[in-house]
């Protein structure tokens, strides 16, 4: 992969907390969310922004689903959004007893199950958990004890699941069974020093390397499968939040960012905070999976 990589702004979105970019290969568009606005957006490489859906609750993540719908997770649990009408249908909230929690990042595995983690919205208490929404719409808690659940993804061979524990500044690597959707032993994959930013959203490329956005770090880190740093890519904003591969050849890395809580000096240094960015790469990503519970959606 070329070391001379330039990140460019594709939409000066001014997102408060842009997050959760997901490429939909069926329609060739990118979905992403602004957690705190809150809203879901659709971006088309040929036409720019082509969709905007205001949401009633802070939305952590969303993924295209069959039948013109989007599956999402927010502060009231799991739900679906009908893109044509904007109608929302609720599935369930596994944490209705934890009003200070909300869902954060989430993603669909290659068997069609939706994984999403929760967090303490004040980023203080370890009340967050990782959940699996199965294709029959049952929900199972898979791990717990996190202050801020964040970016996740799977290795190309589906034997490892990566999961970000932001306030611990750690990316975990779990043994993963794709057939049964079970997690095995977990190990430290990568950890940032206290002064070096906070790991946020991530994605995995076709070589099995992990791209992690570093909140308060002005950069992305590309980790080798053994956890070593392959390279760091500067981003012109202090708080990049997540990334995903898209485009017809999956060689465009889309990057979200946030402007929430930034000082005047940080905004002067990075005036594009909250923008949507892109980076052309030599190595493609992996296709995004689609939730496989279409029979019950809506």
Active-site residue list: 200
Q: Are 288 and 63 in contact (CB under 8 A)?
A: yes
Tokens of 294: 């279409």
* Phi/psi of residue 130, nearest 5 degrees: -110, 125
Other C-beta atoms within 10 Å of 192: how many?
Answer: 20
Q: Is residue 213 exposed (0-12), middle (13-18) or buried (19+ Cβ within 10 Å)?
A: buried
Checking phi first, is residue 55 left (phi over 0); if not, alpha (psi -120 to 50) or beta?
beta
**Cα 44 to Cα 27: distance, rounded to the nearest angstrom:** 9
Structure tokens, 76: 């009231």
With tokens 């190595």, the residue in question is 283
Q: Who's near 295: CB < 8 A, 6+ residues apart?
A: none
* Long-range CB pairs of 171-179, under 8 A, 24+ apart, other chains included: 171/199, 171/202, 171/210, 171/212, 171/223, 173/227, 178/109, 178/110, 178/111, 178/154, 179/111
Vertex 128 angle, CA 124 and 130, to 5°:
155
Q: How far is CA 37 from CA 107, 148, 172, 214, 258, in A?
A: 21, 19, 29, 21, 11
What distance in Å separates the CA atoms of residue 27 and residue 207, rounded to the nearest whole number?
Answer: 25
Tokens found for residue 256: 């979200």
């Amino acid at each position: 992969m070329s070391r001379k990589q330039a990140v460019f702004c594709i939409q000066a979105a001014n997102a408060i907390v842009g997050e959760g970019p997901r490429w939909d290969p069926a329609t060739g568009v990118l979905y992403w969310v602004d957690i705190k606005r809150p809203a879901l957006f659709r971006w088309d490489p040929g036409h720019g922004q082509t969709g905007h859906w205001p949401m009633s609750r802070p939305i952590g993540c969303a993924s295209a689903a069959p039948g013109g719908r989007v599956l999402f997770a927010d502060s009231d649990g799991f739900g679906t959004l009908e893109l044509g009408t904007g109608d929302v249908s609720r599935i369930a909230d596994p944490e209705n007893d934890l009003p200070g929690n909300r869902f954060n990042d989430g993603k669909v595995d290659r068997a069609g199950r939706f994984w999403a983690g929760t967090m303490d919205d004040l980023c203080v208490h370890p009340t967050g958990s990782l959940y699996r929404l199965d294709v029959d719409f049952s929900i199972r808690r898979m791990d717990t004890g996190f202050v801020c659940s964040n970016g996740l993804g799977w290795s190309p061979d589906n034997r490892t699941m990566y999961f970000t524990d932001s306030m611990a500044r750690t990316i975990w690597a779990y043994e993963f069974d794709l057939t049964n959707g079970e997690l095995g032993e977990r190990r430290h994959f990568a950890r940032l020093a206290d002064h070096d930013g906070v790991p946020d959203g991530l994605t995995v490329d076709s070589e099995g390397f992990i791209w992690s956005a570093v909140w308060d770090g002005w950069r992305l880190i590309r980790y080798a499968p053994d956890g070593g740093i392959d390279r760091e890519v500067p981003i012109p904003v202090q708080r990049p939040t997540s990334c995903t591969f898209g485009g017809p050849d999956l060689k465009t890395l889309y990057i979200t960012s946030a402007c929430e809580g930034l000082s005047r000096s940080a905004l002067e240094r990075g005036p594009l905070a909250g923008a949507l960015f892109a980076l052309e790469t030599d190595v493609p990503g992996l296709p995004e999976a689609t939730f496989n519970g279409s029979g019950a959606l809506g």
